[in-house]
Amino acid sequence: MSSSLNQTKPADPIFFPQLGVLVFFGLIVVLIIMAVYPLPDWQVISPDRFAGISQEHPLGTNALGQDIAARAAQASWHSLRIGFIVTICAGFLGMLLGLVSGWYAGRWPDATILWLTGVMEAIPFYLFVAAVAYAFRQLSWSMELAMVVTFWTTMTRLVRAEVIRLKQRDFILAARAIGLSPAKTLTSHILPNALPVILVQFSMIFIAAIKAEVILSFLGLGNSSTISWGLMISESTQEVIAGHYLNFFSASILLFMLIYSVSLITDSLQTRTDPRQGVA
């Protein structure tokens, strides 16, 4: 009997989170090296059009003679900044609203939050971002604002469901019976037990923010005052036809490294925190 149970138990997924962490920190190391390396200004236009890999231009130059390595480093920091800002702001907003909605399930705070969530989910994302980007085009953080306003909804629904489930547990009923305040119950008992779901959703918001930024920049809806992976890929569409691939490969490989590493970490978190993974 014990042998059959051992055969159906899934293997401990150690390799994948380690690989994800290694790839992620490998990307950070590459970016640090690129930042320390004496690269030209990413905006400077030079006569060295489509220059090959050299000591002066480690990844060559694009059609305007701009250094691809400098542009790739600036685009990477730009994407990481957007990812972290959107993840922190949208994640904490969604977590807070989910805690309140779940605790007051069936009452007016819950109904209000669910109505607001439904309204935000009904608006087409890219249409909304385009409208926000146009309305706040003079602001450099219009894209981050649009993402924060829309990316909190999934976190809210997941946390709300988790709070409703945990409210029925004996230790929560006991805490309420002894007169523990709702705020103390939520922060001391429910939030720690809901943390696995929250951490997974944080990482998924990070991935979604990076992807959305690349797509919007590719479509020309991004921040025009800086460079991004999406803009680099958009610029390289004509360069690839002419046989110049350095601009495209630089942006694509860095994007792949970031998304792949965070995806591995997210999959590992889901596997380790989902109790159904241990069921045969």
The span from the CA of 228 to the CA of 13, in Å, is 34
Architecture of the domain made up of 16-32+69-274? Orthogonal Bundle (1.10)
Q: Give the Å distances, CA to CA, from 71 to 23, 50, 141, 217, 227.
A: 21, 14, 20, 14, 7
Identify the weakest region by mean pLDDT among 15-29, 76-90, 153-167: 15-29
Q: What is the pLDDT of residue 5?
A: 44
| Phi, psi for residue 24 in degrees, rounded to 5 | -65, -50
Q: What is the pLDDT of residue 69?
A: 82
Of residues 140 and 78, the one with the higher pLDDT is 78
The span from the CA of 194 to the CA of 183, in Å, is 15
Of residues 195 and 15, the one with the higher pLDDT is 195
The span from the CA of 187 to the CA of 263, in Å, is 28
Element (H, E) at 50: none
8-state DSSP, 9: S
Percent of the chain with pLDDT over 90: 16
Top mean-pLDDT range of 10-24, 55-69, 180-194: 180-194
Structure tokens at 270: 């889901």
Q: What is the pLDDT of residue 11?
A: 46
Q: What is the DSSP string of 224-271?
A: TTS--HHHHHHHHHHHHHTT--HHHHHHHHHHHHHHHHHHHHHHHHHH
Average pLDDT over residues 69-73: 83
Average pLDDT over residues 14-32: 64
| pLDDT of 20 above 70 | no
8-state DSSP, 10: P
Identify the weakest region by mean pLDDT among 117-126, 130-139, 156-165, 186-195: 130-139
The span from the CA of 259 to the CA of 252, in Å, is 11
Three-state DSSP state, 45:
coil
Percent of the chain with pLDDT over 70: 80
Identify the weakest region by mean pLDDT among 2-11, 99-108, 133-142, 205-214: 2-11
Angle at 107 between CA 169 and CA 100, to 5 degrees: 60
Q: What is the pLDDT of residue 39?
A: 62
Top mean-pLDDT range of 9-18, 43-52, 64-73: 64-73
Q: What is the pLDDT of residue 19?
A: 66
The string of pLDDT tens digits covering residues 156-166 is: 999 999 999 88
Q: What is the pLDDT of residue 90?
A: 94
Average pLDDT over residues 77-85: 88
Q: What is the pLDDT of residue 115?
A: 94
Contacting residues for 211 by C-beta, under 8 A, at least 6 apart: 259
User: Mean pLDDT, the chain, as a whole number?
Assistant: 79
Beta bridge mates, 67: 61
Q: What is the pLDDT of residue 227?
A: 83
Average pLDDT over residues 105-116: 92
Contacts 24+ apart (CB under 8 A), 250-255: 250/59, 250/68, 250/69, 250/71, 250/72, 251/72, 251/75, 254/27, 254/30, 254/72, 254/75, 254/76, 254/229, 255/79, 255/210, 255/214, 255/229
31: pLDDT confidence band, cut at 50, 70 and 90?
low
Element (H, E) at 59: none
